[in-house]
Chains A and B, each alone.
Chain A
Amino acid sequence: MRAPALEVADVSKKFRLYRERPTSLKARLLHSRMRAEDFWALRDVSFDIPEGSSLGLIGHNGSGKTTLLKIVAGILRPTSGVVRQRGRLAALLELGAGFHPELTGRENVYLNASFLGLSRRETDAAYEAIVAFAELEDFMDNQVKFYSSGMLVRLGFAVAVHVDPEVLLIDEVLAVGDEAFQAKCLDRIRRFQRDGRTIVLVTHALDTVTKICDRAVMLHHGEVHAAGAPADVVREMRHVLLGTTDPGFVPEEGTRQAEIASVELIWGSGASEIALRRGDPLTIQVDVRTNEPVADLDVDFAILDGATNYPVLDARTSSHGISIDRFDGKKRVRFRIASFPYTPGKYWVTIGLSSQQTGRLYHVQTQRYGFDVVDAVRVQDRVDVPVDVEVEDL
C-alpha cells in the first residue's frame, strides 16, 4: 500500500455555542461571564487515505463532514488530534469563492484561481480550457452580476477542476448544474483519479460515492460510524437514515424537490378507534407534492418498533415494480398492509421520498408518525407480510 497522502488521527472538534455572544466591548465589559455550551462536532475521528485513492465522506446534515473537511483544509483548527497531509492541497468548499459581482468573468477567474492556489502564469495557461469547460466563451468580458446562477456555477466549477492539486477536497459541489454538466464534472473527477490524485468527496448523493470512491467513511454525530467499502457504508447510511430513533437526529431532510404534503395512517372502521388491533389491516397514505418536476420518484416507508427502534416492516414503490413517471403536481400513494401482525406497543413510521436513480433524498420524515397496537398473539421476528401499493393522480 502506498503511503497515506492524508492522515487524520484522533481529531476532535469542540465548538462553543454562545447563548449571548458578546460581540462588542460594551457587552464584554458588562457581562464578564459568558454563557456557553460545548458542542462536539467531531470526536476522535481517525482514518487515512493512501495516495491516489478516493474517499467518500457521508453522513446526515450536521454529522461533522464539512467541519472535518475544513480542518483538513486548514480553515478550522482541531481541538485535539493531528492531521498530516502531503502535497499541494486544494479545497472546493464553495464554488466560485470570492466571485465578485462587479468584476468580469475573466477577472473572477483569476481571482478565484488565486484563492485555489494557482499562480497568474498557471491561470494564463489554463484560461482557455477553463472558459471552454464552462462554455462561456462569449461572456467572459461581462460582469458576473449579469450571469445566471447556472453560468456562475459552471464557471466556478471550471476553475475548480483546473487547479492541479495532489489532494483535492470537494464538498457537495458536484450536485450542481444540469445533468450534462454533472456528467462532465464526474468525467473530470475520474480523470483526476486516473492521474493519481487523492480525492476526498463529501456528498449526499450516495450513488456518486459507490460509483466513484474506493472507500467511504460515514460520520454520525461527529464519530466514525462506519468505514470501508463504499457499498457497505452506503447501505449502513441508508439504514441509519431511515431506521433508528435518535433524539439528536435531524427528523426531516432532503432537497424538497418533492415534499411529503401529508401522511395518514388508516385502520379499522375509522377515526373512532384509538389503537390498531393486531392483525387488522393498516393503510399508510402519503400525499406527495412537487416543487419541481420529479422524474423518478421512489416513495418508501419503514415501521419501527417503538421499544427497540428495530425496523419491522418496510416497502418502497420501486421494489413493488411501480415506477412513477415524471410529474409535477400532487400524487397520493397508499401502502396497504393486509394484516399488521406485530406485538402490542408503540410503533413509529418513517416516510421517505427519494430519487430512484440517484438515491438522492427529496424529503424524509424520520419517525414523524406513530400508532399503537393492542392485543393478541405474539410474533417475534420479521415475517413476510404482503403489502399492496397503489398510486393515483390527484
Chain B
Amino acid sequence: MSDVAGTVVRTSEPAKLRVRRRVREVYERREVLLNLVRKELKVKYTASVLGAVWSLLNPIVFLAVFTFVVKVTHNSFPHFPIYLLSGLLAWNLFSVSLAGGARSVIDNANLVKKVSFPREVLPLSAVGVALVDFVLQTAVLLLFILASGYGFHLPELAIYPLAFATLLVFTLALTFWLAALNVRYRDIQHLLNIALLVWFWMTPIVYSGFLVKDVLKGRKVLGVSLWGLYLANPLASIAMGFQRALYGVIRPVVGERPVLPDVSLAWLAGVLATVLAASLVFLLYTWRRFFELSGDFAEEL
C-alpha cells in the first residue's frame, strides 16, 4: 500500500505547471471541489424561503426592467425576452464567476493557511457555483422558448456548444488571474465591479448587435476598424454566439431592422473559434501564474 503513492519532494523552487499532471491532481481531489460548491449553494439557499428560486430572480428583474425600457423608448424588439436572456445568462455566468473567484482565496484564508489541497479548487468552485445557477436559468429559458412557441432554429443552435466552451474557458482564465492577484492587491475586487459595469455595456446584451455593427461599420480610428475593435471584446462575440444559437434569426420580422448582426454563421463560428484559441492560451498563462503564486498564498494572507 505504501509503495503505491510516490515520493513527494518539496523545494524552494516554485513548481512548474505540468497541465496533464495537475489536472490529474485536481481531479483526485475533486471531492473538495464538489463539497465546496455544495457548501456555497447550501449556505446561499438555506434559511431562505424561496431557495434556489432566487437564482431565477435576477434574470426576471432584468427582463422586467428592460422590457419596460424598450417599451418606453418605442423600440421594436420582437421576442425581446429571448434575445435579452440568451445573452444575459451567459453574462451572468461570466460576472458571477469573476466576482466570486476574485474573493475565493481570501474568503477561504483559513483553509488556505491550514489545509493543503490544490488551490485551483477555490476559483474553480466559484465558477462551479455560477455554473449551477447558469444551468438552472438556462433550463427555464429553454422551457420558455418551447412553451412560448418560439421554438429552436436548428443550424444556429449548433453554435451553442462552441459559444459555451469559449465562455467557459475565457471565464476560467480571468477567474484564475483575478483570484491570484486579489491575494496581494485587495482593491482588485473593487476595480472589478467598475470594470464589469463598463464591460456589460460594451457587450450587446440589452441592445441590438446589428445596431452596433450598423453604426461602427466602415468607421476607423487611427486606421483600426471600430467594428473590429468592438469584436476584440471576447464577451461580444460570445454573447452574439449565444444569441445566434437561441434567438436564431437575424431579422425576426420581415421589413423591420435586423436585431442580430448580419454575419454568416460560419463567420461567427470562425470568430468564436479564434477567441476560444486565444482564451486557451490565456488560460494556460493565467493558470501558470496562479499555480506559481499559489505556493505563497498561505504566507500572503
| Chain A contacts to B: CB under 8 angstroms | 15, 22-26, 28, 51, 70-89, 91, 93-94, 97-98, 100, 102-103, 107, 110-111, 114-120, 166
Contacts and interface: CB of A to CB of B under 8 A. Distances in A.
A102 B116 contact: no
In this complex, which of A22, A25, A72, A94 has the most chain B Cβ atoms within 10 angstroms of its Cβ?
A25
Contacts of B191: 25
Contact of B39 (A70, A85, A103): A103
Contacts of B187: 24-26
Nearest to B295: A77
Nearest to A100: B39
Interface string B70-114: 000000000000000000000000000000000000000011111
Interface in B260-289: none
Instruction: Please classify how large the interface on chain B is, using the bins under 10, 10 to 19, 20 to 34, 35 or more.
Output: 35 or more
Interface string B1-45: 110011111111010000000000000010110111011001100
Interface of B: 1-2, 5-12, 14, 29, 31-32, 34-36, 38-39, 42-43, 46-47, 110-117, 184-188, 191, 295-296, 298-299
A23 B185 contact: yes
Contacts of A79: 12
Contact of A75 (B31, B47, B115): B115
Given A25-B187, A77-B12, A94 B114 contact: yes
Given A80-B12, A97-B110, A98-B110, 6 more contacts: A75-B298, A76-B299, A79-B12, A87-B2, A102-B43, A107-B38
Contacts of B1: 166
Contacts of A51: 2
Contact of B47 (A22, A85, A102): A102
A281 to B, nearest CB: 53
B12 A78 contact: yes
Nearest to B112: A75
Given A88-B5, A115-B115, A118-B31, A77 B296 contact: yes
B272 to A, nearest CB: 33
Contacts of A102: 42-43, 46-47
Given A75-B114, A85-B7, A103-B43, A70 B298 contact: yes
Contacts of A74: 8, 10, 116
Given A25-B188, A100-B43, A73 B116 contact: yes
A103 B42 contact: yes
A371 B31 CA distance: 62
A81 B43 contact: no
Contacts of B186: 23-24
Contacts of A81: 11-12
B114 A97 contact: yes
A29 to B, nearest CB: 10
22 contacts: A15-B299, A24-B185, A24-B187, A70-B298, A76-B299, A78-B10, A80-B12, A82-B9, A82-B11, A83-B10, A84-B7, A85-B8, A86-B6, A87-B2, A89-B8, A94-B114, A98-B110, A98-B111, A102-B42, A102-B46, A103-B43, A107-B39
A86 B7 contact: yes
A377 to B, nearest CB: 57
Contact of B2 (A23, A115, A166): A166
In this complex, which of B43, B116, B186, B188 has the most chain A Cβ atoms within 10 angstroms of its Cβ?
B116
B91 to A, nearest CB: 26
Contacts of A91: 115-116
B85 to A, nearest CB: 31
B5 A166 contact: yes
Contact of B117 (A23, A88, A115): A115
A23 B111 CA distance: 20
Given A111-B35, A114-B32, A82 B10 contact: yes
